[in-house]
Structure 1
Amino acid sequence: MLRQYLGPLKWAVAGLAALLLGATGLNLVLPQIMKRFIDSARLGAGADMGLLLRLAGLYIALAVGVQLLNAGATYVGARVGWTATNRLRGDLMAHLLSLDMREHKERTPGEMIERIDGDVTALSNFFSQFAVRVFGAALLLTGAVVMFYVTDVRVGLAITVFVGVTLFLMNRVRKRGVEPTRLERESSARLFGYVEERLAGLEDVRALGAGEHHLRGFLRVQRDFFSRSVLSWARRNVVWQLSMVLFAVGYVGILSAAVGLYAAGAITLGTAFLLYQYMSMVEEPIDQLTQQLQDLQKAGASLGRIGELLALRTGIPEGERTLPPGPLEVRFEGVEFSYAPEDPQSRGVLRDVNFTLEAGQTLGLLGRTGSGKTTLTRLVSRLYDPTGGHVRLGGLDTRDVRLHDLRSRVAVVTQDVQLFQASVRDNLSFFDAAVPDHRVEEALREVGLGSWLDTLAQGVRTPLPTGSLSAGQAQLLAFARVMLRDPAVVILDEPSSRLDPATEAQLTRAMTRLLSGRTAIVIAHRLDTVARADRILVLGGGEVIENGERADLERDPRSHYAALLRAGQGAERGLHGAETGAAAVLA
């Protein structure tokens, strides 16, 4: 992980190492200057004032240098850390987008947000400073121990034993915090997922008076997160607590040794102070190692969870071929599909589906709820692959086509249009800066939104707040997105399900322009939506009940389509009669 994400930043990492090592070297020199200053000052009236001033000035200059080097290291480290973690976020996002829908169905968007952002943020210090700071701390620790040997071999031996015991014990307890931290991250992801789901359904929660129930659920999830956070914090702090106890013993020992040696005349007062200073230099890197080990525990837990995500493999492998230009023929050959193919008891959503839609034609797809209509269109856009048979576009099996090429040639407009809090052009171009404004304007006018566009103060650059459009305008905006992409195949999922008659007429005109010269599949519950379709396919229980030319099926009184038309006309006459009766009563 370090090699992959810090490799491209090697010069910045080298600069960070130079800054840290420079600060370490100066730190080792400072106590020597202080020792000489103290020993010279003890001479009293015989002290060389010029030497003392020079030593004081040198000490101040070097101390300021240490602070500047540390500030530079902090700045460079932050840049390295955020650059590396942002690249990891991008890779994680790309990987998640490459997974098939089965994986996304198993996790909430909130959980995915926490995985991509929260877990990666926990790695920021690991990327930016872990290796360099551990190396710098080890160097400072080694230098301080060596200086003890230079001062007094006996003290050096004692400090070596103390450092060895301290590092051994810290290494023994450091792993205790990894598993609690992993559980903490998991509970954090569940908390994010819970909040995201409730915010997404806020209107329903309020309308049905379920706020109290969901609040209690939130408190349960929050309580679990809090409990696991406290446990993981306590486990990680064992390293720090152990360090505090050991250094309390260490400082007592070194002060006792310094006082004893000074009283015996073996060392000067400056050397006694030097021993104390170097003891603090032993404490500083070990404290730093303690902090880094705590961060390593967090990083270990986050790396494990990130590794789990990266280990997921899509069930939709990449193809190698490209689709031919122009409108594409759509063909299903003995297609079978199940959302749980590994379960032999699972009933397939689609069973032995066969039909051909010629290039440039429109197919009206009818059937009851749960008949498999949406699943069929998902196979065309390759959100899933069939568990049996073949789906072909332009004569090519969709499994043999490059995913990017296929999805750039197949456009889907769903019932619920997703709008972003961004400008009109960003909503249409999906934030592609290469798309010129005039193409966005042309697409909007093409679908009948020209008069609406003329009312916008900043044209296509006008911000589009969420919820500012009616259902009809949102559908037309989705049509404009498709116009902008100019795909070969268009799939419309019940485009007029929530519209009033006037808006539906406008949408029908836009749909006629949208589908002109393109192969199209239109899912419909209202028969008016498919009144201009070339072919009709009726699904029932995952099987093809009827398939044929719309005009032929309309003339055949025994066809399902004709029966649906008669039922729809009867319902309209009944509704008209009820309206007439109601008007008479009111009169």
Structure 2
Amino acid sequence: MAYSDQAVEVSDGETPAASTAARLAILWSFARPYWRVLALGLVLSLAVSAMGLASPMVTKWVLDTLAVDGSLRDPVLVLVALLILGAVIGWYQWVMLGRLAEDVVYDARQRMILRYLGARVYELLKRGPGELVTRVTSDTVLLNQAASSSVIGLINGTIMIIGSLVLMGHLDLVLLSTALAAVIVVFVMFSVLMPQISVAEEKAQASLSDLGSELEGTVRAIKTVKSSGAQPRRFASLMRHVGESRQHSLRSVRIQAGAWTIAGIGLDGAVIMVLAVGAYRVADGQMTISALVAFLLYVWGLTGPMMELTQNLTTLQSGMAAAGRISQIERIPVEEPADDLTVTSPARTTHSVGTAEQRREVSGPADEAGRDADRAATSPILELSGVTARYSPDAAPAVAGIDLTISRRGHVALVGPSGAGKTTVLSLLMRFLEPESGEIRLNGVPYAELGHARIRSAFAYVEQETPVVPGTVRDNLLFANPHATDDELAQVLRRLHLSDLVESLPEGLDSRLSDTSVSGGQRQRISLARALLADPRILLLDEATAQVDGITEAAIHETITEISEHRTVVTIAHRLSTVIDADQIVVMDAGRVTALGSHQELLESTQLYRDLVAALRIETRSAAVPSVTMS
């Protein structure tokens, strides 16, 4: 499945509502791959309908045979045959369309998950996690019948009604005009009520997304909520979304109830009028009793198609509401075509990519050994020239005019007050954020000439938040390099003092990992171990020692020193002990690079750096540097 980058830019996390035609187009896009199944389902449905339409005529045949004392064998056999054949075909159609509905949901979820994984990072993060989850889990369910059986049901129901009306006209045109008046009234009312269902359903789903997003954030911050005594306020806020969803859903229910009631009244009224007019015509000798009975059977038979039409129109409106919300997701801009994304599903579709080849091409150890043999060890691996970037078009630049050269080996530390642009620089290097102007080069090649996956294959990135990846400890450690050996794994665990933690867990490396099963410092070490196992050409660390103890910090510091002897390490740190021995310290302020140099050079030349060091309340000439967090 390929992405198109011709997407509508989103500035506030919201996108315009899709038109009815656009929603129908999205519904059809899910059903189109299965048009043969839909066609077969329609044929089977028409066959069942044809048998249903034939039954009243066979009943008339039975009554006419009784009137002349004829044999009932043939008409009864035909009725039994119609019953059995209809049951068999109906069962097969039901199973086939049920499978089709599940396939549609599967494809919709696959499409949305691919969009999430391929989306531009900050465009995706503008939407809350709860909302994104709701779109995949809840909205797609509304497509279940809308893009499959409801279409067939609408066609079949329409044909059943038309067929019934034709046969009713064959029996008696006067009675047909009587019944037709009721049918027309029902259709007019449907045309008024049905669009309102779509609007109500879409608003209900929007409130449900808001609930999911806010509930996810509340659960994530439950310790803060409880320690602040904020449970009543959180409850009131969450229930406001629950109430809004309920209100819109009830409005949809009321409209649906009105539609069903109108259909029922219209059909019951038709039966009463047909009985009255039909009895008069039988008494007047203008039609037979058997014809009246058959006509009444057709009128009663209209109940099924009319109710089916009502239900399928309702389902279609709900599906269109879901399609409108899915269209918002499909307008999230993506980084590039999904050729760099690997998605494998044994039962369904496989999308594959040679990321291993990309890694070898950009930063494989063998290639780098050859390159290093031909280049000086200090030749730049990364270059930023006049780079300016912002997180949204109307926001101030997060960084402006950044010029920076990072050598092939060594430790580069970014320091500065909060909001200086340090994390933005890492986001630019990882291509989570695109520069507004300027150029970034990797190994002398502009980023614009490299795909996102190729660029990122050169890096290992340790986030400041150090999130836990769903799965076991082993899954987390091998996340970036699933082919790492047990010896490599054991070595990294020992280096970062994680061996004792793993041994203390009930199932060792195969223990399920969650935010509550390990401390913040342990999560940070696991994240760093994951990065080391990836064997990157460039290691990016954002506050890698923010939550660890002194002993572990010393081990991390030693690891950074060792890696920087033959690789590139770029760190953001507010602890002086982490950066004091860096080969180059980059001082940033207000989105700009204000100074470069070693620790001693910056102490002598840069007031901002002296202020940052002074904030640690240490003697700058002291040999012992305590682990105190910069303010």
TM tier, shorter chain?
Answer: 0.7 to 0.9
Task: Give the C-alpha shift of residue 40 in structure 1.
Answer: 4.3
Which of these residues, 338, 346, 355, is aligned with residue 404 of structure 2?
Answer: 355
Describe the SS at the equivalent of 2:413: strand
Which of these residues, 384, 389, 401, is aligned with residue 337 of structure 1?
Answer: 389
Task: Give the C-alpha shift of residue 508 in structure 1.
Answer: 3.6
Describe the SS at the equivalent of 1:331: strand
- CA-to-partner distance for each residue in 1:64-108, whole Å, 9 max, x for gaps? 443343333232222212212221222222223333344334321
- The answer as to whether partners of 1:447 and 1:513 remain within 8 angstroms in 2 is no
- Judged with a 3 Å threshold, the aligned counterparts in structure 2 of structure 1 residues 407 and 280 are, in CA distance, closer, same or farther, namely farther
- Judged with a 3 Å threshold, the aligned counterparts in structure 2 of structure 1 residues 7 and 221 are, in CA distance, closer, same or farther, namely closer
Per mean C-alpha deviation after superposition, the further-off stretch among 351-360 and 202-211 is 351-360
Task: Give the C-alpha shift of residue 9 in structure 1.
Answer: 2.3
- CA-to-partner distance for each residue in 1:312-341, whole Å, 9 max, x for gaps? 435x56799977335671222122233344
Per mean C-alpha deviation after superposition, the further-off stretch among 247-256 and 557-566 is 557-566
Paired amino acid for 1:107: R
- In the other structure, the counterpart of 1:390 is 439
- In the other structure, the counterpart of 1:570 is 618
- The answer as to whether partners of 2:27 and 2:319 remain within 8 angstroms in 1 is no
Paired amino acid for 1:411: A
- In the other structure, the counterpart of 1:229 is 249
1:195, 1:304 → 2: CA distance? 23
Task: Give the C-alpha shift of residue 283 in structure 1.
Answer: 2.5
Task: Give the C-alpha shift of residue 539 in structure 1.
Answer: 1.2
Paired amino acid for 1:246: G
1:95, 1:26 → 2: CA distance? 45
- The answer as to whether partners of 2:613 and 2:620 remain within 8 angstroms in 1 is no
- Judged with a 3 Å threshold, the aligned counterparts in structure 2 of structure 1 residues 341 and 268 are, in CA distance, closer, same or farther, namely closer
- Judged with a 3 Å threshold, the aligned counterparts in structure 2 of structure 1 residues 57 and 200 are, in CA distance, closer, same or farther, namely farther
Task: Give the C-alpha shift of residue 468 in structure 1.
Answer: 1.4
Which of these residues, 201, 210, 214, is aligned with residue 234 of structure 2?
Answer: 214
Q: Does 1:372 align with 2:412?
A: no
Unaligned 5+ segments in structure 1 are 579-587
Note the 1:459-478 alignment, pairs <5 A. Answer: 460-478=509-527
Which of these residues, 472, 492, 505, is aligned with residue 446 of structure 1?
Answer: 492
2:181, 2:605 → 1: CA distance? 98
- The answer as to whether partners of 1:319 and 1:402 remain within 8 angstroms in 2 is no
Task: Give the C-alpha shift of residue 7 in structure 1.
Answer: 2.9
Describe the SS at the equivalent of 1:294: helix
- Judged with a 3 Å threshold, the aligned counterparts in structure 2 of structure 1 residues 147 and 504 are, in CA distance, closer, same or farther, namely same
Paired amino acid for 2:222: L
2:86, 2:565 → 1: CA distance? 72
Per mean C-alpha deviation after superposition, the further-off stretch among 472-481 and 57-66 is 57-66
Paired amino acid for 1:490: L
1:516, 1:29 → 2: CA distance? 87
- Judged with a 3 Å threshold, the aligned counterparts in structure 2 of structure 1 residues 341 and 158 are, in CA distance, closer, same or farther, namely closer
Which of these residues, 346, 354, 363, is aligned with residue 325 of structure 1?
Answer: 363
Note the 1:479-498 alignment, pairs <5 A. Answer: 479-498=528-547
- The answer as to whether partners of 1:319 and 1:400 remain within 8 angstroms in 2 is no
Q: Does 1:526 align with 2:575?
A: yes
Task: Give the C-alpha shift of residue 133 in structure 1.
Answer: 1.4
Describe the SS at the equivalent of 2:441: strand
- Judged with a 3 Å threshold, the aligned counterparts in structure 2 of structure 1 residues 274 and 539 are, in CA distance, closer, same or farther, namely same
Which of these residues, 63, 78, 81, is aligned with residue 98 of structure 2?
Answer: 78
- Judged with a 3 Å threshold, the aligned counterparts in structure 2 of structure 1 residues 539 and 479 are, in CA distance, closer, same or farther, namely same
- Judged with a 3 Å threshold, the aligned counterparts in structure 2 of structure 1 residues 349 and 466 are, in CA distance, closer, same or farther, namely closer
Task: Give the C-alpha shift of residue 248 in structure 1.
Answer: 2.3
Paired amino acid for 1:368: P
- In the other structure, the counterpart of 1:106 is 126
- CA-to-partner distance for each residue in 1:403-431, whole Å, 9 max, x for gaps? 1222233221112222244223333445x
Identify which of structures 1 and 2 has the higher relative contact order when contacts are C-alpha pairs closer than 8 Å and 6+ apart: 2
Task: Give the C-alpha shift of residue 493 in structure 1.
Answer: 0.8
1:420, 1:67 → 2: CA distance? 50
Note the 1:229-378 alignment, pairs <5 A. Answer: 229-314=249-334, 324-326=362-364, 329-342=381-394, 346=396, 348-378=397-427
- Judged with a 3 Å threshold, the aligned counterparts in structure 2 of structure 1 residues 572 and 271 are, in CA distance, closer, same or farther, namely farther
Q: Does 1:175 align with 2:223?
A: no
- The answer as to whether partners of 1:494 and 1:522 remain within 8 angstroms in 2 is yes
2:279, 2:339 → 1: CA distance? 78
Count of aligned pairs between the two proteins: 563
1:337, 1:390 → 2: CA distance? 11
- Judged with a 3 Å threshold, the aligned counterparts in structure 2 of structure 1 residues 500 and 162 are, in CA distance, closer, same or farther, namely same
Paired amino acid for 1:277: L
Describe the SS at the equivalent of 1:329: strand
- CA-to-partner distance for each residue in 1:5-39, whole Å, 9 max, x for gaps? 22332343233223322321221222233333344
- Judged with a 3 Å threshold, the aligned counterparts in structure 2 of structure 1 residues 319 and 392 are, in CA distance, closer, same or farther, namely farther
Unaligned 5+ segments in structure 2 are 1-25, 341-357, 369-379, 627-631
Note the 1:172-211 alignment, pairs <5 A. Answer: 172-211=192-231
Which of these residues, 180, 186, 191, is aligned with residue 166 of structure 1?
Answer: 186
- In the other structure, the counterpart of 1:582 is none
- In the other structure, the counterpart of 1:537 is 586
- Alpha carbon RMSD of aligned pairs, Å? 3.4
Describe the SS at the equivalent of 1:537: strand
Which of these residues, 161, 177, 185, is aligned with residue 141 of structure 1?
Answer: 161
Paired amino acid for 1:83: D
- CA-to-partner distance for each residue in 1:156-181, whole Å, 9 max, x for gaps? 44444543443344224422333333
Give the TM-score taking structure 1 as reference length.
0.85
Q: Does 1:29 align with 2:54?
A: yes
- CA-to-partner distance for each residue in 1:215-271, whole Å, 9 max, x for gaps? 122232222222222223323444323222322221112222333344344544443
- Judged with a 3 Å threshold, the aligned counterparts in structure 2 of structure 1 residues 319 and 95 are, in CA distance, closer, same or farther, namely closer
Paired amino acid for 1:524: A
- In the other structure, the counterpart of 2:455 is 406
- CA-to-partner distance for each residue in 1:467-520, whole Å, 9 max, x for gaps? 212333322321232244333222111111111112323434554566563322
- The answer as to whether partners of 2:502 and 2:508 remain within 8 angstroms in 1 is yes
- In the other structure, the counterpart of 1:584 is none
2:93, 2:561 → 1: CA distance? 62
- Judged with a 3 Å threshold, the aligned counterparts in structure 2 of structure 1 residues 456 and 190 are, in CA distance, closer, same or farther, namely closer
Per mean C-alpha deviation after superposition, the further-off stretch among 134-143 and 218-227 is 218-227
2:244, 2:231 → 1: CA distance? 20
- Judged with a 3 Å threshold, the aligned counterparts in structure 2 of structure 1 residues 468 and 514 are, in CA distance, closer, same or farther, namely farther
Q: Does 1:425 align with 2:500?
A: no
Q: Does 1:90 align with 2:128?
A: no
- CA-to-partner distance for each residue in 1:418-466, whole Å, 9 max, x for gaps? 2244223333445x9x935x63663353242455545666564443344
- The answer as to whether partners of 1:19 and 1:70 remain within 8 angstroms in 2 is yes
- The answer as to whether partners of 1:362 and 1:521 remain within 8 angstroms in 2 is yes
- Judged with a 3 Å threshold, the aligned counterparts in structure 2 of structure 1 residues 429 and 58 are, in CA distance, closer, same or farther, namely farther
Give the TM-score taking structure 2 as reference length.
0.80
Describe the SS at the equivalent of 1:369: coil
1:126, 1:318 → 2: CA distance? 29
1:174, 1:76 → 2: CA distance? 27
Paired amino acid for 2:570: I
Q: Does 1:9 align with 2:34?
A: yes
Describe the SS at the equivalent of 1:122: helix
- CA-to-partner distance for each residue in 1:182-207, whole Å, 9 max, x for gaps? 32222222222221221121110001
